[in-house]
Chains A and B, each alone.
Chain A
Amino acid sequence: MEIRVEKIRKEFDLYPALHDVSLKIESGELIALLGPSGSGKTTLLRLIAGLEQPTQGRIFFGNEDASYRSVQERNVGFVFQHYALFRHMSVLDNVAFGLKVRPKGQRPPKAEIRRRALELLEMVQLNGLEKRFPSQLSGGQRQRVALARAMAIEPKVLLLDEPFGALDAKVRKELRRWLRDFHDRTGHTTVFVTHDQEEALELADRVVVMSQGKIEQVGSSDDVYDRPNSPFVFSFIGESASLPVKVEGGVVHFHGAPTGLTAQRDGEARLFFRPQDVSLIEEGPGMTGPVTSSRRLAGTRIAEIELGSPEKPCHVEVEVPLEASASNGSILSFRPTRWKLFY
């Protein structure tokens, strides 16, 4: 099921949570809504589900305008951050709930409901636990019950709110891989919210980076990492350094000195680059400063270099080869090899 969000605006007590957001989600896609807290990613997910009412704008499921559809009618599978399992029901009853509450005519017979619930439990690898109560399950197991319960209604789309947020690191990694497999097997259109960029980049076909109620960039993991289109995306995803620069006559100057980088357009700008995208240089234009600290990081070394004037210093981190001398106080010169200017 393809989903189109058109110019959605959402205000909570006049405080805008989303500003005219538009997004198209392809059928069968696994997509991540990524952003810091308060970026509006959960609000967008809840709007798609019908748990919130948009202040303005429309939401299409396929060609159908679903904006005024209630959550019951939208037929979405929603997995909540804290699972929201019904704690007075057994695991089996939790999974079967969506089928049991169907109106008489559409409700499968009892035996059929049970069969399908057990089948779903098998799919999420929880066979044998159907008689347990949620309080008797581990966090990862609860998460999978929540997923099986959402799948029971044969949803058109699967929505997950911080699906791994409440789990410890090891379980989180396992479930992440498991969810990817699950998606590949079932082929549901799946949207999940996360604030963990590693999770988003690893898992999703496309990542929607959000900030302050707006979509900053939509693209594949490679797109948002290698070709960030805004200062926010550049600094939010991965490690990065930024410096205030001035472009004069096509040459990028930092602190009044040429850096050896060239640009099309003149003017004040910010230069962004990643620590690993630099090369140390012996001579020629570049950026030079004393090392203020350094630390070993796996196979490389990260050095913090102080640039600019002593009164207004800028600190940047760059990756240096292990053999390079980077003791505190030694002077290093470098030039970014991949970089981007934002005017």
Chain B
Amino acid sequence: MSERLCPRDEADVVEAVRWAVSNARTLDVAGSGSKAPLGRHIQTDATLELKGLSGVTLYEPEELVLSAKAGTSVAEIEGLVAASKQMLAFEPMDFGPLLGVAPGGGTLGGLIACNLAGPRRPSAGAARDHALGVRAVSGRAEAFKAGGRVVKNVTGYDLPRGLSGSYGTLAAFTELTIKVLPRPETVETLLVLGLDDAAAAGVMSAAVGSYYDVSGAAHAPAELAARIPAVAGAGVAVTALRLEGVKPSIVHRRGKLEAMLRAHGTLSFLDADASRAFWQGVRDVEPFAFPVGGALDTAPAIWRVSVAPMAGPAVGAALREIGARCLYDWAGGLVWVEVPGTEPHSARVRAAVAGAGGGHATLIRASAAARAREEVFQPLDPITGALIARMKNGFDPGRVLSPGRMYAGV
């Protein structure tokens, strides 16, 4: 049976990894476990649960910087910065609703390890773009640091970015420093109603490529829009364009966008509160949510696909034959795909991505059996695969840190 190791500080983490290396045991590196069903399904000898390393260690709003222990809850951090009218600008999604896990459970370490992002990704970046510094313990049972606490820093390799999205396979984070930014004063959303996917991609491209600072561009076909309460009443497909900032600017930009888009479809509008609810729904992929505690083995499979924005609809079209439903974010560049039934249809999904000009597809929700059997992340070419295996050799030669979570044998 898998054991839980609950370190209280960095020295404990070093000890835990030392134990694992010396005894050839494997560790599942976790924060609170809120994203445990993400990635390849692996079995380890113990879980290294980092949520005991908790607490904000530095927050200087005027310096736009925050440091916290890796196990600090994201909800706590978001609450703290909100009190200073700031935010994590990359708008990290909460995987809870998709994975049938209670929302709000994630930790800062998990957020960086999984490189989370949200609808503001095209303009504000992902977690990787906001990670300034890390302290971590590698699979050599050594604590190390990289990066710093300032935004502009090119001293040495950019390991904070390189470890973003490493799912605990190279090192266990113990403390992280991230950039925070001011919250926009207010928000509104312009809706274009009744567009098909391809027309929506065109409208989103024009809007995002305009002078009017659109900080979110998403499209929900009618059937999925009906599952997002803020726009469910529309009864048709909804293409949403978010405007954030100071009020006079939003009024100006909305007017310009309305003039630009009037010919494309019926326009509608969401106020600040409705906007916030709507974009949180898009961020957390509300139309594909699964009941908390539900058996994931019975849930329809979900893919997260990233392609060039204009290529999004081609992915949707190619997968329509198998009855897939698609929600589009990032002006079309992010496609959330729900495949009917529990079979992930990997070959079909990967072919659709390749056919749309390339990108990547990650199997987000599937049974443990499927996640043990299928490639969850975008398959690597042999040269890149060998390179990543050599990186693993450098950071975790004993293969003790979440081996196989991303790629078999690594």
Do A and B belong to a common assembly? no
